[in-house]
Amino acid sequence: MTTVLILAVLILVAIAIWQMTKIFELSQHSTKNTQVANDADNKYNGYLMFAFLIFIYWITIFCFWKYWKVLLPEAASEHGQDYDLLMLVSMVIIFIVQVITQTLLQYFAYKYYGKTGKRALFYADNDRLEFIWTIIPVITLAGLILYGLYTWTNIMDVNDEGDPLIVELYGQQYNWTARYAGEDNVLGLANVRMIDIDKANVLGLDESDTYAADDVLVKELHLPVGRKVNFKIRSQDVLHSAYMPHFRAQMNAVPGMITEFAFTPTITTEDMRQKPDIIDKVKRTNEIRAERAANGEENSDPWEFDYILLCNKICGKSHYNMQMKIIVESPEAYAAWIADQKTFAETVMADDTQPTTNTTEEEVTAAR
């Protein structure tokens, strides 16, 4: 209540000051102060236009210089190169057009500022000029769109060619679980109705499905470098989005359906850590962390670079914390790691004394 009163008083005081200024202005019988711009006003505005031109290019150059280093490092997946090239080509074209048009706009506003007695040239139309400034954007945009569509189709083509590794990414508020398809490289059936927390069957795998027995559930994603991975993405509750920025990959996780994305990792975690821009990023981050440590603040442990899977849909209050570490390693290291993991049969089906699932055959078929 006090806040409302204070606000009301402040607003009333502001109105009073504004009204008093008005009265003061009206009492000054100045003949100079007309509402029509004179030569001095026009000149002043012309110079302001020119100053604005200098300002926007100064700030553009400054931002490039200052913030270039916070951009993502080079893409760590095969399609990521194409993705980055498309982005670069689009941005360079936009940048060139922007520089030319903005410069002309601001410069002419400065050059032709109003002067008494000077009249604007009446120029009705020019077919040739209009043809030129229509056809150039048409060709450029058509080219960009075709190039974009071509890249998009290539990136979004999820197929089984080249013996891909099949991995499920399962999102729920607020964590990710990854499921490897095991020896058979076929994921077992799963349905939200078969989730059994008591038995730690958190993904609702169908225990009667033989393909499910060798599936491996993990909380850290390991990927062999150079092998294509087909991701099958599911959500238990709300919309999530599996986002792997270093691999230029993102796909929504939608309850009730399986979405897909495929990529081939090309740089191991170890190799990525040796890249100069990553070394620099880690150094900069750890300097900030050391400062925090000195002040006794939280989140001050030294940081080491890792690939990461994030959720990129605001899915609830702990959304920011929904992430999973990704490790890209040599095929040998990956094979050793996966051999070390327990299968679904070893963890859940082993102590399957009394089946608790009452899912009907129809429901299983529907889930398929």
136/257 with CB nearer Cu ion: 257
Q: How far is the CB of 237 from Cu ion (least distance, A)?
A: 9
| Residue 258 beta carbon to Cu ion: minimum distance, rounded to whole angstroms | 17
Could you say whether residue 309 binds Cu ion (CB under 5 A)? Answer: no
DSSP3 helix / strand / coil % (the chain, rounded to 5): 50, 15, 35
Which of helix, strand or coil describes residue 13? helix
Q: Is 326 in the site for Cu ion (CB under 5 A)?
A: no
The dihedral formed by the CA atoms of 187, 361, 367 and 348, expressed in degrees to the nearest 10? -40
Binding of residue 310 to Cu ion (CB under 5 A)? no
Q: Is 234 in the site for Cu ion (CB under 5 A)?
A: no
Per-position x/- string for 126-165, each x denoting binding to Cu ion as judged by CB under 5 A, each - no binding: ----------------------------------------
What 250-258 contacts at long range (C-beta under 8 Å, 24+ apart), as own/partner pairs, is 250/312, 252/313, 253/169, 253/170, 253/171, 253/313, 255/192, 258/232, 258/233, 258/234
178 binds Cu ion (CB under 5 A): no
According to the binding rule CB under 5 A, does residue 199 interact with Cu ion?
A: no
What is the C-alpha separation between 235 and 168, in angstroms, rounded?
10
Q: Where are the alpha helices (DSSP H) in 112-240?
A: 127-156
Using the contact rule CB under 5 A, the part of the chain among 9-17, 179-187, 223-231, 234-242 near Cu ion is 234-242
Q: Which is nearer to Cu ion, 241 or 264 (CB)?
A: 241
Name the minimum Å distance from CB 357 to Cu ion.
27
Q: Tell the burial category of 300 from Cβ atoms under 10 Å away from its Cβ (0-12, 13-18, 19+).
A: middle
Which CB atom, from 239 or from 364, has the smaller least distance to Cu ion?
239
Interface residues for Cu ion in 68-107 (CB under 5 A)?
none
CB of 7 to Cu ion, least distance (A): 38
Among 179, 240, 246, 248, binds Cu ion (CB under 5 A): 240
Q: Which of 205, 217, 311, 324 binds Cu ion (CB under 5 A)?
A: 311
Q: Would you list the DSSP string of 232-269?
A: EEEESSS-EEEEEGGGTEEEEE-BTS-EEEEE-B-S-H
Stretch that binds Cu ion, among 105-113, 200-208, 209-217, 303-311 (CB under 5 A): 303-311
**If phi over 0 gives left and psi between -120 and 50 gives alpha, with beta otherwise, what is residue 316?**
left
From the list 33-41, 302-310, 314-322, 353-361, the region that binds Cu ion by CB under 5 A is 314-322
Least separation in angstroms between residue 168's CB and Cu ion is: 16
- Stretch in the footprint of Cu ion (CB under 5 A) among 35-43, 59-67, 114-122, 320-328: 320-328
Rule CB under 5 A: is residue 328 a binding residue for Cu ion?
Answer: no
Q: Contacts with Cu ion: how many residues (CB under 5 A)?
A: 4
In the numeric block, the tokens 């026009």 are attached to 42
Asked if residue 315 binds Cu ion (CB under 5 A), the reply is yes
- Per CB under 5 A, 324 contacts Cu ion: no
Q: How far apart are CA 132 and CA 134, in angstroms?
A: 5
The least distance separating Cu ion from the CB of residue 141, rounded to whole angstroms, comes to: 35
Question: Integer distance in angstroms from the first to the last C-alpha of the chain?
Answer: 59
Task: Determine the interface stretch with Cu ion among 105-113, 202-210, 220-228, 310-318 (rule: CB under 5 A).
Answer: 310-318
Query: Token pair of 349, please?
Result: 């089906």
Q: Which of 163, 301, 309, 291 is nearest to 244 (CA)?
A: 309
- 322 lies in the site for Cu ion, by CB under 5 A: yes
Residue 253 touching Cu ion (CB under 5 A): no
Taking the C-alpha atoms of residue 366 and residue 368, their distance in angstroms, rounded to an integer, is: 5
Helix (H) or strand (E) holding 307: strand 307-311
Strand partners, 165: 229
Separation of alpha carbons 64 and 69, rounded Å: 9
Least spacing, CB of residue 312 vs Cu ion, in Å: 8
Binding site for Cu ion (CB under 5 A): 240, 311, 315, 322
